[in-house]
Amino acid sequence: MNNAVAASGGGGLAGIFKSSMMSKLIWSLGGFAILAFAWWLFGNYIASNPNTASFANFGLIPTLQAFPELLEIGKLQSATTVSLNRLFVGLGIAIIIGIPVGILIGQFRRFNQLSNSPFQLLRMVSPLAWSPIAVFVFSTWYGAIVFLIAMASVWPIMFSTAAGLAKVDPAWFKVARNLGAGPVHMVTRIILPAITFDILSGLRLALGVAWIVLVPAEYLGVTSGLGYAIQDARETLSYDHLTAIVLSIGAIGYVLDTTLAMLIKKFSWHRGGVC
């Protein structure tokens, strides 16, 4: 009898979960459908107006028709690969710097007091404002763009790590020290598991900022990447290619953000996770 009830309850929970997921999917698809319909109307208006007919390729249908051509010549794949490489390298550098410094900020009050004002000052500088310095310091465009991405993304990771560590109960550290935990064990067994949620939340914010900075950074003078592909499509008046690349940028960013949101939900200590 108990087994039957448990099985029934498990099935009920699974049904609720599936129903919730299906409802969320339907609403998401509905939102995309509204966006596509508005875009289609906008395209039809441009095409039907003699003053703007030359820009008709900005419409939804020409944009969708441009994807097979971009994929056939490999332009979209190569641009995406190059841009993602720059993004992940820049984010990797930001993680390597941001997490340890964030732990120092959250763990040592004096270091926090000493570094807070300089870090806040640097954080408020637009990442693209570093472009002239990056071009001057780095011998390659690749290094300059990676530097700009790292500068854009290190602050959310750093401060989210520090904020997460500030919420950890100090008694945990006392117990760990009493049990003989060294600095390495303290970081790997206590600190990192306790603040994984906060680190991932900071990484999600950093990803959004870095993805936005990446495209204008690729306008600097490179001959590859999604930003360069947009600039090239604009100069050749290939408006359908331009909008297709812009749509691809949004889709890739959406997938990356959704992936991190799922990881945050997995490591969340709160019911319901994040949206």
99-114 pLDDT, tens digit each: 999 999 988 889 999 9
Per-residue exposure over 114-131, b if at least 16 CB sit within 10 Å of its own CB, e if not = ebeeebeeeeeeebbebb
Under a CB-based contact definition with an 8 Å cutoff, are residues 144 and 220 in contact? yes
**Distance of alpha carbon 244 from alpha carbon 266, whole angstroms:** 33
Task: Quote the pLDDT of residue 191.
Answer: 82
Instruction: Return d(Cα 173, Cα 99) in angstroms, integer.
Output: 18
The whole-number pLDDT of residue 271 equals 41
- Mean per-residue pLDDT pooled into runs of 10, the chain (275 residues): 48 60 81 88 83 79 90 92 96 96 90 92 91 89 93 95 86 77 78 87 94 89 88 88 93 93 76 43
Interval 9-55: pLDDT, tens: 555 555 655 667 787 778 888 888 998 899 888 888 888 888 877 77
